[in-house]
Structure formats: structure tokens, C-alpha cells
Structure 1
């Protein structure tokens, strides 16, 4: 007998979470570093009281928006290499349902976060209670069931005894490198406050080992044969490389074999921008260098990639006759995509096994030289895009990135998620460290950047953290700026004002929808939103929330403002009204070198839609089914 401890369910959960650790490569990390919370009747007397009871066990952060709290936890988890994360508690009702978007983002991006929403009474003393969803055919359904499809694990704790197996299962999923994502433990508000005699063993320290599975010998042999037979192989590095900490192994493998490397959004930074084998971004938002080699590659070695439609240009990019795929991935679900040869293993372990099995193997030097030339030519295009010959002119969005490019060092971290910025960054950004590039593009969630910057800064307290947002994204979720002020976190927020959804506006025009509903403008006399821009002052808004604000109207002012923000010791906003992309020359972003499938109206009377459909039919005809 180890004895028991009498605690409420909420108190026991907090005491349990404080003693969970991860370990990888001999280094230990606390798994749940802190808890975010907004309190209502569904959690204030349970988890709220438990956090008051045990302030030394669990640090607490006060949030302003439930979705944003999840984003902050996810940003922390990504910056921590998925070895640490945060918990998030809300009340039942609007607070709980506000978690759904953040949970979806975490699960899609394979990033761990623990959600602890309150729930309706398990004992059902009255029916319905406040914020109860009445479902005539099922008495055990609450709004928290919305979280089931976006969670990797879900349980509702209707009895105190159920907490023990549920909490252990939750930790198993949070620490599983192939299955991790959002984990939800729904906690009925009456059960949270119930006392129970818990076994002391429940509160002993547990260390969850993050495994590095090695490849199966037969799969490894098949992958080696494919690589030896290839004449124009291309590595596609995805987020799994970074999650595994496999960057050094990838660099060594690319150097020894001469195989060039293209990166997905999640994989950018796997190689630094000046590595001789780096080709930059791949796919619809990729570089001309990477996409041209992808079209002629006879073998694609995918490492930790999900093969999304942006990466494959909606199935139109890998068009060389007989092109084959080898998929090195810790998740069998992803390893079997593209009908490729599977190599189910940890990215670092798998790369090391491939290198050991391919001693002396190297691509033809003429192919390696062609890759080098293509990369050099692309770098010249990046230089032109960043150039700003007139310092007194308003900067384009690309010139804003150029200003950051000239200022930021390897210690800086750059965060973005939505709008046209992810495409521009994927094409143009030159990562100086493996974790500098933090673009959330699995869900591309507007509003992610500011709360994620808070989570990243909490994980990396000595490093400058930048959140890049357009005006549309800023208006989605500026509330956590107050949290940054409250916590004294000197995040740097760059707000690019372009009066609407510039990215979707451009897409809308390309698919025949004429930019409808994408600009922030007054209504014109004909009822359309084509009047003057709305007189919204986002800089004044940021200042009202407690930030120091630096306004920039010219390239010269922008460069000064960015340097001032980088040195600031308080949360700072750089606000800049951007000039339109000129289309060509300095300040313009090179066009997409690969397609993206956005279906166009099959029948229409407006000429723009008719032309767009003709182009769509031409493009979709180039799709290649990956069937081996």
C-alpha cells in the first residue's frame, strides 16, 4: 500500500500534471509548463480553485480569448520541439466551443495541447442547466462533443475514478510523435469539485520517453535501391524533420549524396538558406529553382511531409515520366501517401540509416551543379524583390520583408499564418536558424500570430519574437496584446495595412469572382464595396491596448522603426501602410511557379469567370495521379 491523498478531482489533476515530464536523447522537459484560463461557472470552483490551491505546482496565465489561449499553447509547443506544451481551461458553453478552432489547428499541425473545458453536470440536478445543449435523442451530449473530431484523444470524466486512466491516456497521446495533437478532457462542473481518495502513486513523477523508431530492414533496403537507381532525386523536407530535430542529419545526408533539398512550409528552416543543397520552398508558394527540379525529378524522397496540395501543386508538379516516391515518416498514415515506398521511422533515425546504407553514393556532378546554378539565380530574384531604390516611397509588402531580412539575426523568430504573407515568406525568406521560420500553414488560421508570439516568447524568453500580420488578421484577434502587456513580454508586432483581404482578393480575381467582398471599403452607390477605404486606425487600436506604436510611411521610416522595435524592452507595434505590388522589378514578389486547384464556376455569363474557367481546365488537365 502506498497510501492515499484526499483531493478534489480538479486538485488531483493539477497535482498530476505538475509531475509529468518528457525525455528525448537523455534530456528531460516538463510536459505541461503552465495553464491558461478564462473562468466561468463551469470551471471557477473546480480548476480555478485548484490553481489557487497549488500556485507553486502550476504557473497560470490569464487569457482574453479562448481560441487565442490555444494558439499561445501551440506556439509554445512548436518552439519547444513538441517536448513541452500548455494546458487550457475554459467554462462550459461559449468558452468551450471557442476552443474548437485552436484544437483543429493543433491537431492538423501535429502539435500537442491539453484542453480542459468544463462540462454540464454529471449528476443532472436540473435539466436543462445554463448553457446546456439539449439533444432529444441523447442525454449525454454537450457542446464539448464538438471537440471530438478535432481532438486526437477525448474523454469526459463523469466519475472521479475515471480521471486516473483518462489522465494517463491523455499523456500517452500528447507525447506520441506520430499521434499527437489536441487532447480534450471534458470535466463536468460538479465532478471537478468532488473529493476522492487518490492513490499516492498517481502523483509520482512520470517520464514519458519520446521514441525514435528505426526503419524496418526490408523497407530500408527498398528505399536504398530506389535511391541508387535515381538519376535526378529530390528531397522534400517537411515538418517532421524539425519535430525530430533531424536538421543536422539532413544536412549531412544532402552533403554526402549531393541530393538537393526543397522544403514545405512546415519544413522551412530544415536547411539554412546558405546551405549549398538548399533550394527553398516547394509547390504553389515555392521557388522557381525548387519547382523546376521537381518537374524533372525521377525520385522524390519525402521526409516528414504530409504531401499537401500546396506542396504537390494539387498533383500537377511531379510530372516526370515514371517519377517515384519514397516516404520517410514516423506516421504510417503519411508514409503511405503518393503510393510511395514506405520507410516508417523517426526522421533523424531514418536519415542516419539511409546514410549508413549508402556509403560513397552521390548524384552526378552535372546534376549537383545544375542545382547550385538554379539556387544562385533564384537568390538574384530575391535580391531584386527586396530592393527599395526609393527610400522616400511607401514600402511594398515585399520591401517590408526585405527590411526584416537585413535586420534579423539567427536569434530572431518570425511568426505568420495567413494572408499573402505565407506565400511571400515561403518564396523569399532566408532562415538563419532552424527555428527562425514559424509559419502555421497546416490550418493557416487568421489570428494565430499574436497569441503564438506570446507562447513562443514564453518558450524562448531571451529571443526577439516577431508577429507579422495583415490588417485582416489583426482584426480577427488583437485581444492577446493585452496579455503581452500584462506579462511584460516584448513581442514585436508588424501590422501591414492593405485595407482588406489582399491574398483572397487576388485569388478571387484569378478565379473569376472579381475580388468580391474582399476589400475593407464603404459601399458605393451601386451597393458594392468599392467606395473609399474604411477610416480604421489599427495603430491607435494597438496603442489603446497598451503597446508602444511606431508608424512608418516610407521605406526609410520603416527601417528605423524595425530597428527600434527590435531593441525595445516592451511590447511594440510597427504599423505600416503598404504600397501595391508593382508586378515587376524592385518590391514585387515573383509569381507562383506552380498551380493550386481552386475550382472555377463551370458555367457563368461574366467574361472574367469564363476566362478563368478556360485557364482552370487547361491546368487541371496536367494533374498526375500518384499510383506507383
Structure 2
């Protein structure tokens, strides 16, 4: 037992847990903690808005494989991270948010900057907890890190009243974290694996659908091995993009509302569909009536509550995707697998369904392909939310799992650029690029100053169509072309604005100009913003109209 203040115990426990970065903004409730951080090796990354700091911690967590940590003050500091917490939770990203709070003697009095952040975040976090005894700080910090990064990963919020950080107590840093009822299943039941294998080896038209659970488990290699054993065409959800390399012969690409033709045609025709770490989002399935209607579905997921929630399965495997896939591979190796050439349809569909000629001019598909050509295979790319996100999902090839990051569940505009900063903090030796639209960029562009001042050099490709493009596309297609509340043709000059934050910034008008600036930016050791004006009338296709099935694909206006 060691006697010290709660603040020092908090920092000591974070250090013991391997935390190297904290993203956040200070305030009155955090003064003792920030003072003690001066004596710690933990790097404090001072932000400009708490939402951006939460997104940085989210990006850090997705890339590093350990929880990203953000720390904000009470009241508005805490409420400003709500969107960031919800974003991480819906995408199963490991995030731990520590919030300052008024002293316990003032809780419940509507004191200055008092907010019940435990009540606010109850429905958008995996777990939250208010520390009311200083001696509980090591347990609370260790529990937060453990819960966030085990089982189905997610967001945790820990509330720290100010008196808890200033009072002295005896602290046990070796305290065990035991949580009644929290027993994530990692290693699947062998009987579930045996049943799944029987279904899989009987398939004539097997298809695999890989989700974010494969990425979270680091199981891309195992997924690819199983696909090759079964000769199973493999599609991905948006969060699963990169689980199998885009250039693998069995890769179908994205499945769903803006899915690729080959994925959206082959998934419904499967007789056995193996779903790994995906929750059957409506954006992945389309109308359930048209989603693999005749398939026997085998669902692997670490979260039992996701199985049979949206789509019924014939059998399940509960556990970590890596453990589950290795268990299937071991069993299937002992079986004789007969393939019938079903997988050959992939190449045929790719030939039949690539009629597009994007020409040599500036277009979103050409931009995505130029980005891919300019980056090394292990570069990390984040996207914001909107049309550019779907263009990236369709046309930016991913070769290594965990190198394509996006906000899938909540669809948070403004997420991409601060998440790229967090990713760069986690992997300073990797090239990091963020693809943004003007709408999302405008929401969090002030975080550029963090990239510059904290020396996290990233590249931002700003695709500017001067409107909220995805909403405008829906209005063009489904509202008789009447555009409402989407015009973003503001007077702001994003290139000039970016320069005020200290970034190198340039506007390109042609693809040769863009490629040249992109090559320079990727090789540079400073933050660069490349603004690319694009056609405001450009639509992203393929697209499934709302309420329709996977094969009901729109390809033209």
C-alpha cells in the first residue's frame, strides 16, 4: 500500500497500464491532475475542442490495439465528448474517457459546471463509473482499461470528482479487477465449432461476410486462409474493409447500400453464408427479404446479443473471431473439401459490372485511385462521412487489415481528420492520410492546429463540392431534385484557412496537379491540406434505394 493523493495514484495507474498519450483539454476540475502530469512521462496532447480530442483518442485506439485515453473537465467539457464516446461505442473501438467533476459535497446541487455525465453516457458507453472513494482510483482505472479492450471493445467513461483527486489515501496498485457478471467469451465452445464445420463443408455456394470483428481480433490472415480453403467469395461490411486484401482473387469488396456489384450479387445467391464479426447493419443488408434469402447462416461474434438480433442464423459460434477462425481451420483441414467453381463468378462479375469510364478529369473515383497509387501499402487512411466515404469504400483498395478507418455506426461528420491525428500519434512511423468532404472538414478543421503544433504530420485530402453531397444525392434521386439545406457555398477559403493553422495548403484543379502535390505531401514531414474542387452533381454509385434488396442496384441517375 502506498499513501499519496488521488491524482498521483490516477497517473501512476495509467502509467502501469501502459498509457503513453492522453488527449484532452484541461479545466478547473483537472488542475491537480494536469499539475501532476508535469512529472509523468505520459504525453499530454492538448486539444482545441473536446470532441476532437475524443476522436483523436478513438483513432489512437483503433490503430494501437489498446484503449485511447481522453481526459476532459466537468460540465461542458464532459458533454462535448458525448459524440466521440458514442462514435467509439457504435464502432466497437477501445476508448476510455476520464471526466472531471465537481467535489462530491457539491454533486446534486447544480454547482458551476456540474453535469450528471454518468446519466448522460449510460446508453452510449460499454460501462461508466463515478469514483467516490479515493482508494478506488487504481481499481477504477484498471477496470476501465480492461473492460474497454476485452470482449466486444467499446467506450468507457470514468467520472472523477475533484476532491477524489486531491485527498490522500492508501492505494493498492496490484488490486485485482473482478467484475461480477462480466465474463467475455474468447475461446469458442468446441461443439459450436463442430456444428459450424458441418454446415460449411456441405456448402455448394459458400460466401463469407467479414465485419469489424475480424479487424479488432487481428484475424485477417486467418480469414483469408479459411476463404482459400473453402474457395469462398468474401465480402466485407464497411467496418470490415481490409479484412481480406482488396486485390485477393476471392475478395468481393463492400457489401450493402453502396456495395460493389460482385458482393451484392453473390451474397444473395449463397447457400451457406459465414458471417464473421458483423452485426447485420441495415446499410450492409438492405431489405432483409433480399439478403441471402436461401442461405444457411453461420454467425461468429464475440457479442452473443448480436446473434439472431437482426438476421436468424442456423448456428452460431460465440467468441473472438481469431480463435473461432483458427478453430474452424483446424477442423476443416481434416476434412475433404470439394469445390465446384462457384468462386469463378467473381472474375466474371467484375468484368460485367465495371462499365464505367471515369476519363482523365477530376472525379472522386480517380482521386481515390490516385491516393492508393501514392501511398505505401501499410499507410493508414481515415475518412470522414458522406459521399467521399463511399467513394473510398468502393475505389480505395486496402491491402492490410486495420489501415482503413471510418465512422460506420454513428456516421459522425468531422471524425476523419482528428482520428488521423490520433492514428499518427499511435503509429508515428506510418504515413497517415485523411479523406474529407468540405462539410465534415468544416466541423473540426480547428484540430489542424493540433497536428501542426504537436508535430503529428498528416495529409488531408479535402474534396470540396460546396454542399452536403450525400444528402443532396438523396434529394436528387428521391425528392424530385429539390435541394434543401445542403448548400455549403460559403465565402470561406479552406486553403487559406488551413494556412492560418500552420499547415501547408494548396488547391489543385487537375488530376496531374493533384498527383504531383499528393506525392510531395506524402513524402513531407509536415501537415498538408490538398483542396480538390469536385463536381457538386456527382453521385456515388452503385446504390441500393432505401427499402430495396442487395440486387436492386442503381447505376445511373
Verify same fold: TM over 0.5. Answer: yes
Per the alignment, in what secondary structure is the counterpart of residue 223 of structure 1? helix
TM-superposed deviation, 1:438? 1.8
Q: Which residue of 1 aligns with 2:275?
A: 302
Choose which of 340, 360, 375 in structure 2 pairs with 1:389: 360
Choose which of 317, 320, 335 in structure 2 pairs with 1:343: 317
TM-superposed deviation, 1:130? 1.2
Q: Which residue of 2 aligns with 1:94?
A: 76
Runs of 5+ unmatched residues, structure 1: 21-29, 134-141, 205-209, 522-532, 584-588, 598-618, 624-628
Q: Which residue of 2 aligns with 1:225?
A: 198
TM-superposed deviation, 1:307? 0.9
TM-score normalized with structure 1 length:
0.82
Q: Which residue of 1 aligns with 2:37?
A: 51
Say whether 1:34 aligns with 2:21: yes
Runs of 5+ unmatched residues, structure 2: 178-182, 553-557
**Per-residue deviation, residues 179-226 of structure 1 (Å, max 9, x unmatched):** x3111110112222111122364599xxxxx99833212212221222
Whether the aligned pair in 2 keeps the contact of 1:220 and 1:354 (CA below 8 Å) is: yes
Choose which of 503, 524, 538 in structure 1 pairs with 2:494: 538
Q: Which residue of 2 aligns with 1:66?
A: 50
Q: Distance in 2 between matches of 1:242 and 1:126?
A: 42
CA pair 518-464 structure 1, distance change in 2 beyond 3 A: farther
Q: Which one has a bigger Cα radius of gyration?
A: 1
Q: Distance in 2 between matches of 1:260 and 1:313?
A: 19
**Per-residue deviation, residues 313-369 of structure 1 (Å, max 9, x unmatched):** 14244254x322110112212233322111112212211221222235445333122
Whether the aligned pair in 1 keeps the contact of 2:371 and 2:396 (CA below 8 Å) is: no
CA pair 580-520 structure 1, distance change in 2 beyond 3 A: closer
Whether the aligned pair in 2 keeps the contact of 1:238 and 1:268 (CA below 8 Å) is: yes
Q: Which residue of 1 aligns with 2:528?
A: 572
Q: Which residue of 1 aligns with 2:96?
A: 114
TM-score normalized with structure 2 length:
0.92
Q: Distance in 2 between matches of 1:439 and 1:446?
A: 10
Q: Which residue of 2 aligns with 1:293?
A: 266
Choose which of 348, 362, 371 in structure 2 pairs with 1:404: 371
CA pair 620-234 structure 1, distance change in 2 beyond 3 A: closer
TM-superposed deviation, 1:114? 1.3
Say whether 1:553 aligns with 2:553: no
Q: Which residue of 2 aligns with 1:75?
A: 59
Per the alignment, in what secondary structure is the counterpart of residue 560 of structure 1? helix
Q: Distance in 1 between matches of 2:549 and 2:346?
A: 28
Q: Which residue of 2 aligns with 1:333?
A: 305
**Per-residue deviation, residues 492-529 of structure 1 (Å, max 9, x unmatched):** 011111111011111133332745434335xxxxxxxx
Whether the aligned pair in 2 keeps the contact of 1:471 and 1:499 (CA below 8 Å) is: yes
Q: Which residue of 2 aligns with 1:441?
A: 408
Q: Which residue of 1 aligns with 2:546?
A: 596
Q: Which residue of 2 aligns with 1:18?
A: 15
Q: How does 1:105-504 map to 2 (within 5 A)?
A: 105-124=87-106, 127-132=109-114, 142-178=116-152, 180-199=153-172, 201=174, 213-320=186-293, 322-337=294-309, 338-340=311-313, 341-359=315-333, 360-362=335-337, 364-378=339-353, 380-381=354-355, 384=356, 387-390=358-361, 395-504=362-471
Aligned residue pairs, count = 544
TM-superposed deviation, 1:305? 0.5
Q: Distance in 2 between matches of 1:98 and 1:566?
A: 32
> How much is the aligned-residue C-alpha RMSD, in angstroms?
2.5
TM-superposed deviation, 1:157? 1.2
Q: Distance in 2 between matches of 1:10 and 1:537?
A: 44
